[in-house]
Structures are given as structure tokens and as C-alpha cells.
Amino acid sequence: MKARVHVTLKNGVLDPQGAAVRHSLGALGFDGVDRVRQGKIIELELTETDAAKAKAQVNDMCEKLLANTVIEDYTVEIL
């Protein structure tokens, strides 16, 4: 079973990488981009076959390692 985790900075947390991307897009002539927020996607291949158990397991992984829950939000998809 596969799982996909989307990790993004919480609203209100400064995103210097997103700001750099926004600036670079403007420099390349892509006007009209007001804000860029950058995140990460983590894909996991799991041996668990029960979707509910897999989601609980991945949520636990996020809380303990994959996301810094002080400044980041995450969502889990079971594929």
C-alpha cells in the first residue's frame, strides 16, 4: 500500500524559499504571482494492507518525524 504525505508551513510562518521562488518568477517575466508557499511531498511504500491502520501508522510517523508540527501542517493520503 502506498501513502503520500503533503507537508506545508502553517499560515503565518515565514517561507523564505517561497519568497525566493516568487521573486525569481517575477524576474523571469511571470507577473501576477502574489505569493508562493513551498512544501514537500513524501511517498511511502507500506506493507500494511488495512487502509485505516496504514493511515494511523503514517500519522504517527508524521507526528514523530516527518513533520515539525510546531510550524508545519500535514495531510495523509492512502493510495
Burial class of residue 21 (count of CB atoms within 10 Å of its CB; 0-12, 13-18, 19+): middle
Task: Kindly report the pTM of this predicted structure.
Answer: 0.85
Query: How would you write the pLDDT of the chain (79 residues) with one tens digit per residue?
Result: 999 999 999 999 999 999 999 999 999 999 999 999 999 999 999 999 999 999 999 999 999 999 999 999 999 999 9
Spell 42-54 as b/e; 16+ CB within 10 A means b.
bebeeeeeeeeeb
Taking the domains of the chain in order of start, what are their residue ranges? 2-78
Q: Would you state the cell numbers that stand for residue 65, as one nine-digit string?
A: 518525524
Residues 6+ apart with CB under 8 A from 41: 4, 5, 6, 7
Q: For strand 39-45 and strand 72-78, is the pairing parallel, antiparallel, or unpaired?
A: unpaired
Q: Would you state the cell numbers that stand for residue 30, as one nine-digit string?
A: 511571470
Please state which CATH class domain 2-78 belongs to.
Answer: alpha beta
